[in-house]
Structure 1
Amino acid sequence: MDTSRFSETLVPLASTGCLQSLIKLNGIISDSDHPPSADVVSVFTNHLEYRDPPESLHPTDNMIHYQINLGLQSLSGLYWCWKFKRTEPHLRTLICDAWPSIWKWTNSIARLCILQTDAYGVGTRNLTFQCITDLLVVLACEEEQLRIRMASTSGFMELLTNLWLDEAEVHNPRGPDAFLTSAAVLSLFLLPQTNNRPGWVECVINASGDDKRIATACLNHIRHALGTTPPHFENLVLHSTVLSQLMESRKTGAALLHQDCISLVMKTLASATSNPYSPSTASSIRDVIFYLCIALKRAFLSTEGVEWVCQALNKQLLPTLLRVEPWLPGLPASSQGAVVEMLTKSLAVYMMHRPVVIAVERSFQIVDRLHLGQLLTPSGELLKAWKIFRELAKERLLVRDQLDQRHNESSRTCSSTKCRKQDGKRVFKRCKLCLQAHYCSKECQIEDWKNGDHRTRCEAAQELRRKGLLDPISRREMDYISTVTTSDLRMNAFRIRHLMATLYSGDPLSSLVAHLDYTTYPVTITVGPAASLEGTSEDTLSCSVFDREETHRWYGHGAESFLLARIRILQGQYTIVASIGCEWPREDSVEMQLSEMFEMLLAPPTSESQVE
């Protein structure tokens, strides 16, 4: 339909503020395949620029009602004109230049007709919501510079957040099946690749004024989209995007996690992957999988990371990850990597924790019963990652079983540097303040407090716990960590000795330590002087620290020597840094000499080694 023949009659009337003429003009533009003239666009922009929106609501005041409808029709007209922006660049320029006027009316009408008491009924509220969200989506979707300008406008992010919160709290005014809701607008400003202003996420959080409220709203949005039949995956993409970005905030992330976020994420992933692959929904399901995996990875790095990993595993994370393979080929390589890394990195680094290993063992039973591993593509990346993770889990389960068989023993030693007696009968007492140091007697505790480093470590641990960064490590957990570390040290004893002999040939063995970094997978092994590996930061916890001067007495006695190792283990948002002693074959043993020669032939000396 050609709009030019209507200009002579409708445009002059619409310019004077005739509401019926504006409605007819909008209808013609929406049905037309021809772009409107600049004069038509100016009708809408002039109304917004030269007229002021009402400041308050009076249900009986017909003039205010007229003003609101005039503003809504002008905003709606710009929405329909925007569809011609590609063929008519001058229309895009006119509309972008009118942003201050658009914002003036959008802000006023949204606050009066949506966020305040609805004086004009549900119909006007829904019309207002639809008009504002539709226009904001198209403006922010394709114009990056305009999107930055919008977000930089004072009060814009606050209004957008309040619309999003209101929508979650009173349910979607356009119905559960509606698309282009306020979440569609909000997600455009939170997408990682478009978030040019890091403060935008903070603006959303600050606008709510309550971390619990914003967490509840985010999860309610997901529940509403998931509750439709079938689930509305287009909306789930938007809500998953918002969720993944909000998880970056420590306080909001914690509020989300303590409102059963993990269970809802797993329920959504299960819903997305349990249905047969369909081309019509494949794109949306792929995006949901990607953003929810990002949200899970950030949850695992939060303060109570071990707890959330176990909770996700108990909600069938492993079976769900194996079911995502049909959707992976459609994702970019980087996005595919984010999903695969859930196995090879996010979960692998937590296999140093006994509760995680137990949860993985239960998950394996479900995977094997459903034969999910056999359904993976033979040459696919997911199968390779699954084999690596399964082999790691097999090793950790073996260590767990060996430790359980000798459950009456303990690898823990007295924390006093003057004692180091082993807690064979598990009777040592733990410090009630730091919950980390163990002593065989009151005398050893006093000695370590006065002359050792327990005072410093104890005060640091208490400070971390006050900040909510530290949970006590159980004796059983520490025994498991120590046993895994000892096993890895002995398996790599020959290479470690070779690195020490090659790189630090002039240093006595007692002055060197091995450093095992379990915060990455495969674990990285480094050797060096003990002094070079000391020191912790605010987000680390030192425990079971050995005085290297006291380790001299371990060397050169009997058939074995003693190695001191510093280990780093991921414990949610902070890192455990511990020192563990390991007995291993003496340097002059025949087996060691033969193995060193073999190692020297296989690999050149390096300062770092990755163990798979």
Structure 2
Amino acid sequence: MAANVQEAIRDTASPDAARSSSGLYALMRFAITEPTQTLTILNTFCGYLDSKNMPASIRPTASDEINVDRALNSMKGVALVGTLRSTDSRVIEALRRVWPHVMKWLQYLHTFQLDNEHLGSDQRVAIFTLISGAHKVFNQTPELQALTRNTPGYFKLLVEQWKMQIRVPGFISNPPIYPLSNILTAHTNTLIPTAADAISTITTLLGGPDDVARIALEHLSASAEQTKSQANYSVAISADIDFIANLRTSAPIRYALLSRHAVRAVTNLFFSLTAGPVNKETADSVTMCMVSCGHFLGFALEQSNGLPWVIEALNNQLVSAYIRCSAWMPYMKPVLVKHFLVPLRDTLPKYLMYVSVLKAAQRGMKKAQPLEAKMIRKGPLWESWSQFKKLADERIGMLSESNGGGDKHQVCFNPSCRKVDTQDAFLVCNGCNDAYFCSKPCQDAMQEGHRRTCEELQVWRRDGKTAPMFDKDFAFAGQVAQRELSKRLGEAAAVWEREMPKVPVIELDFTASPMKVRIGSATTVRPSDYATDSDERTSWDALVKKAEDQRAAIARFCIPEGEYQKVGVDLLKRA
């Protein structure tokens, strides 16, 4: 081993050292211990990685083992450069000179893996690790990020490496240095002009939306299986979940993930994370992974019409998972708690107005009952759980009283009508079985307007993107809305008596959690898109005119349906 910088520089020029890069690695250590020699060392490093030393110029008798060893040691040298102060202009300039050669080494390592199917796992893991490490070095400053962004083929290399990992047992280093999923998530916008372009590129490289979804979920499953015994195992899992969440901006990939039961996969993983006793050494990484699960479920549960994914999560013990998190909460960063609790605090309560969800919640709460006694009875998690449980118990009581739904009511789909009556009195669309009309004139009036929505809904159901709601779901939702309305009519009457509106209005918004109530007039309580949507404005004005003619008040209900909302209205007789 060289004793000083000069000896190390001489060693890099020797035939053996030049072929194996061992002299280079020794040289780079002095960049840390002898800062006054940094510039000399970096210049030598750049010269070593010049094109004349690249694998393509090595004589044909050189073995793959020598080439790979050269590449791996070169990447170690790059990693050592990255330990220097990244704001040092000399370091940045040296890395700028090094990058084209580093990219060639990365391409060589990638091609070597593709051409050698029987390559050992240890060597593949070393290559994955060093590719990740090299990227981390060149992500330190905007100047260095620009190098990777403007390099053709670099993003493709990362995506193909990520895909390759699922075929390699033990592909995650211990501890994970910089998971490739993390790289793809964090640098999508810096590698390609826009996130949409990046995801489009990923889709093209991997074969299509369904292939992207399949590989992403296989990657998550492999990460979870391979890292159970590692101290920082949650780092790799969090990276995979965050990358899957990042892919949701593409609708085809989003629905492919849901069709492949991404909600079930993440919920099961969430449940397994909470299975063991709290370990202070791993608490940071485990709680970060829990937050990633909560973040993913927060948006995934409300895709399509919401019900299939909410029910899927509840059936896979989402309630128990949250209760078992109680012991981990003291270790979760306070700033992340709000995002972590979104499914329990905001999403699930909204859907307790549907029978299918309520019964799934009832089953989940029964399984979780023995765990509740161990909860820490204070803090945001306890408050969210208590509110959810109270609302669920109240709705379960309603369901018992009504024997599963009671009279079935519907709202006319024609926005200029919105008549409420028993379902038997309505005509139903034969295409989607989702739109109800109180009369043939109303159905004819909406024929063109409903056609596109009807066709889209039929395609969604055919492709498994949504599931039809049952009549009992709509019926019970109507009962919930009417009961909540009856609770607030006294308050509404007092406001109307004081303000004397020409057309009194009360709105119950069940898409918010907790439910929001607005009481006022037809001008102060309007649909949120009244000013921007001409159809909504025309419909509302017609309804207000009808209420005025009948000397009635308007009750407006906003019901959650995943990506959309169902709006119902009722005209209330005034004394």
Sort the TM-score into its range (normalised by shorter chain): 0.7 to 0.9
Is 1:514–1:565's contact at 8 Å kept on the other side of the alignment?
A: yes
Q: How far 1:516 moved relative to its partner?
A: 2.3
Q: In structure 1, how many angstroms separate the alpha carbons of the residues matched to 2:134 and 2:536?
A: 51
**Residue 270 and residue 195 in structure 1: after superposition, are their counterparts in 2 closer, same or farther (change >3 A)?**
farther
Q: State the identity %.
A: 16
The 5 A counterparts of 1:246-325 are 246-325=247-326
**Residue 431 and residue 286 in structure 1: after superposition, are their counterparts in 2 closer, same or farther (change >3 A)?**
same
Give the partner amino acid of 1:571.
Answer: E
**Residue 198 and residue 529 in structure 1: after superposition, are their counterparts in 2 closer, same or farther (change >3 A)?**
farther
Q: How far 1:581 moved relative to its partner?
A: 1.8
Q: In structure 2, how many angstroms separate the alpha carbons of the residues matched to 1:333 and 1:197?
A: 34
Is 1:428–1:439's contact at 8 Å kept on the other side of the alignment?
A: yes
Partner of 1:581: 570
Is 1:13–1:21's contact at 8 Å kept on the other side of the alignment?
A: no
Q: In structure 1, how many angstroms separate the alpha carbons of the residues matched to 2:420 and 2:68?
A: 81
Q: In structure 2, how many angstroms separate the alpha carbons of the residues matched to 1:553 and 1:21?
A: 91
Partner of 1:479: 475
Q: In structure 1, how many angstroms separate the alpha carbons of the residues matched to 2:325 and 2:128?
A: 36
Partner of 2:554: 564
The 5 A counterparts of 1:292-371 are 292-368=293-369, 370-371=370-371
Partner of 1:79: 79
Q: How far 1:90 moved relative to its partner?
A: 5.7
Q: In structure 2, how many angstroms separate the alpha carbons of the residues matched to 1:69 and 1:177?
A: 18
Q: Aligned to 1:570, what secondary structure does the other structure show? A: strand
The 5 A counterparts of 1:52-131 are 53=54, 61-62=61-62, 69-85=69-85, 89=88, 92-98=91-97, 100-117=99-116, 125=124, 127-131=126-130
* Runs (5+) with no aligned partner, structure 2: none
The 5 A counterparts of 1:184-223 are 184-188=179-183, 190-191=185-186, 199-200=194-195, 202-204=197-199, 206-209=201-204, 210-223=208-221
Q: Deviations over 1:283-307 (max 9, x none)?
A: 1101110011111112113225221
Larger displacement relative to structure 2 (228-237 or 278-287): 228-237
The TM-score with structure 1 as length reference comes to 0.78
Larger displacement relative to structure 2 (284-293 or 235-244): 235-244
Q: In structure 2, how many angstroms separate the alpha carbons of the residues matched to 1:105 and 1:193?
A: 21
* Runs (5+) with no aligned partner, structure 1: 556-561, 588-612
Is 1:248–1:298's contact at 8 Å kept on the other side of the alignment?
A: no
Q: In structure 1, how many angstroms separate the alpha carbons of the residues matched to 2:418 and 2:127?
A: 75
Q: How far 1:282 moved relative to its partner?
A: 0.7
Q: How far 1:459 moved relative to its partner?
A: 2.5
Q: In structure 1, how many angstroms separate the alpha carbons of the residues matched to 2:23 and 2:506?
A: 79
**Residue 563 and residue 489 in structure 1: after superposition, are their counterparts in 2 closer, same or farther (change >3 A)?**
farther
Give the partner amino acid of 1:386.
Answer: W
Q: Aligned to 1:274, what secondary structure does the other structure show? A: coil
Larger displacement relative to structure 2 (63-72 or 260-269): 63-72
Is 1:44–1:74's contact at 8 Å kept on the other side of the alignment?
A: no
**Residue 61 and residue 331 in structure 1: after superposition, are their counterparts in 2 closer, same or farther (change >3 A)?**
same
Partner of 1:488: 484
**Residue 68 and residue 361 in structure 1: after superposition, are their counterparts in 2 closer, same or farther (change >3 A)?**
closer
Q: Deviations over 1:248-288 (max 9, x none)?
A: 43222222222232222122212211110001111110111
Is 1:325–1:382's contact at 8 Å kept on the other side of the alignment?
A: yes
**Residue 552 and residue 32 in structure 1: after superposition, are their counterparts in 2 closer, same or farther (change >3 A)?**
closer
Q: Aligned to 2:182, what secondary structure does the other structure show? A: helix
Is 1:41–1:78's contact at 8 Å kept on the other side of the alignment?
A: no
Q: How far 1:565 moved relative to its partner?
A: 2.5
Is 2:263–2:301's contact at 8 Å kept on the other side of the alignment?
A: no
Q: Deviations over 1:465-492 (max 9, x none)?
A: 2673875443322212211111111111
Indicate yes or no: 2:168 matched with 1:171. Answer: yes
The TM-score with structure 2 as length reference comes to 0.82
Is 1:517–1:525's contact at 8 Å kept on the other side of the alignment?
A: yes
The aligned length equals 555
Is 1:266–1:312's contact at 8 Å kept on the other side of the alignment?
A: yes
**Residue 95 and residue 310 in structure 1: after superposition, are their counterparts in 2 closer, same or farther (change >3 A)?**
farther
Give the partner amino acid of 1:390.
Answer: K
* Alignment equivalent of 2:509, drawn from 507, 512, 517: 517
Q: Deviations over 1:42-87 (max 9, x none)?
A: 22222334437456999x653887666544433322222332437x
Is 1:241–1:291's contact at 8 Å kept on the other side of the alignment?
A: yes
Q: How far 1:345 moved relative to its partner?
A: 0.7
Q: How far 1:104 moved relative to its partner?
A: 3.2
**Residue 274 and residue 580 in structure 1: after superposition, are their counterparts in 2 closer, same or farther (change >3 A)?**
same
Q: In structure 2, how many angstroms separate the alpha carbons of the residues matched to 1:293 and 1:418?
A: 41
